[in-house]
Structure 1
């Protein structure tokens, strides 16, 4: 059991409830009683992408989920499935799916040893595909690709000269790097059928979402 303060991320239903408990942005909540992961207390995730495993973008009834950056403190207990349970939780700000994806990209990129990745070249020119609904395809290799075909899914690429595509309604998270593999920018965009077409490849170039050839 820990006793600390950490920044985490949490998903909610469309009315800002989670398992029937009503939350509000800016407020802090305290749990009375035992703090035990997956059983009793307030739950959130340190890795923003882990939130999607518990609260995917849609609820199965056509309603979009909501996402917030939160602060957990007091007694903390961690589960084996990446959730953090706490006695106190404060809703810092609502960030939406776009903000959750960008936060997830930063979380992953901060933990990657790019020097070792550059030397090993693991996953370069590779592809990741996922066809399930509310799923994710992630690729960290250089000149690699990620594609999603299921509803409300996310394709994520973090390598140099990487690209992604998805079906209508999906999200793409794109990364731009310079010749020394330094990150120039990260952007998330929805495949809306207008600015971003379904089943076409896109990459981040000069800070802009750009369609590219197969």
Structure 2
């Protein structure tokens, strides 16, 4: 069983990524940002303990979808156990800062660069371009007029510069645009696109794709019969108008943007 209590941090400390539902719960256990929790009982991967991603940050998409999920930086300590090097169970978990998709992509880019593997790229100059084609890859563009593209499964693309573009075409991928007049596009199955900068746009054209935006951003979504089936309907709208809420995720259903829960 798991119990919450304040505890002194043990060493060594493992920095990790953890996903939660919209209520900051995981497996019905209630967490809180800034608090430390201790598991009582056996610590074993997939069996007992608080689990978090200690491998490639985008591996979190294997357990929680990009849309409708909350992500936090966490610290694990005390007794730990891992069975695959990707996820780790720990006795003690401290929940730190909450991050969005864009920051999660940045974490993935950092992870890749530190290991000198070609799974992700970053572009920081004006009109720069970054492309990622590998499984769980990450592409980040931070300069104005930049472009980031991710085509691998569970990949992520982030564009933070003015008029930048982020595109994710792989299944379960995520595209995030935070710059002014930016665009985020997700075409893979169950992908997610978010546009949170001023006057931006988010589009999802894959099966069960989701879109989200800040006030004033445009949302476009396509409804498909199956993952490779024909288009059933399309829907569009502007966040802040006609009942479309900022920060909420939407899918196209019967020609309308319908809010969906995680």
Q: Deviations over 1:28-85 (max 9, x none)?
A: 0001111000100000012321112211213xxxxx1100000000001012261101
Q: Alignment partner of 1:4: what SS?
A: coil
In structure 1, C-alpha distance between the alignment counterparts of 2:32 and 2:166, rounded to whole Å: 35
**Separation in 2 of the partners of 1:23 and 1:139?**
30
Q: Tell whether the 8 Å contact from 2:166 to 2:175 is kept in structure 1 after alignment.
A: no
1:31-110 matches, within 5 Å, as 31-46=39-54, 47-58=56-67, 64-80=68-84, 82-110=86-114
The match for 1:17 among 21, 25, 34 is: 25
Bigger share in helix? 1
In structure 2, relative to structure 1, the CA distance for the partners of 1:30 and 1:137 (3 Å cut) is closer
Cα 1:113–1:28, aligned 2, differ >3 Å: closer, same or farther?
A: same
Q: CA RMSD in A?
A: 4.2
- 1:173-194 Cα offsets, whole Å, 9 max, x none, are 8xxxxxxxxxxxxxxx8457x5
- Residue 88 of structure 1: how far off its partner (Å): 0.4
Q: How has the CA–CA distance of structure 1 residues 139 and 80 changed in structure 2, closer, same or farther, with 3 Å as cutoff?
A: same
CA–CA separation in structure 2 for the residues paired with 1:103 and 1:66: 15
2:174 is the counterpart of 1:195: no
| Mapped contact 2:18–2:73 kept (Cα < 8 A) | yes
Match of 1:27 among 32, 35, 48: 35
Alignment CA distance shift 1:54-1:4 (3 Å): same
> How much has 1:100 moved relative to structure 2?
1.4
Q: CA deviation at 1:166?
A: 4.0
Q: Deviations over 1:96-124 (max 9, x none)?
A: 2222111111111111168xxxxxxxxxx
Cα distance in 2 for partners of 1:37, 1:172 equals 31
Mapping of 1:165-184 within 5 angstroms? 165-166=167-168, 170-172=174-176
Query: What's the TM-score, normalizing by structure 2?
Result: 0.47
For structure 2, the residue ranges without an aligned partner over 5 or more in a row are 1-10, 119-130, 141-147, 160-164, 178-192, 205-262
Provide the TM-score with structure 1 as the length reference.
0.57
Segments of 5+ residues of structure 1 without an aligned counterpart are 59-63, 115-125, 131-135, 158-162, 174-188, 200-214
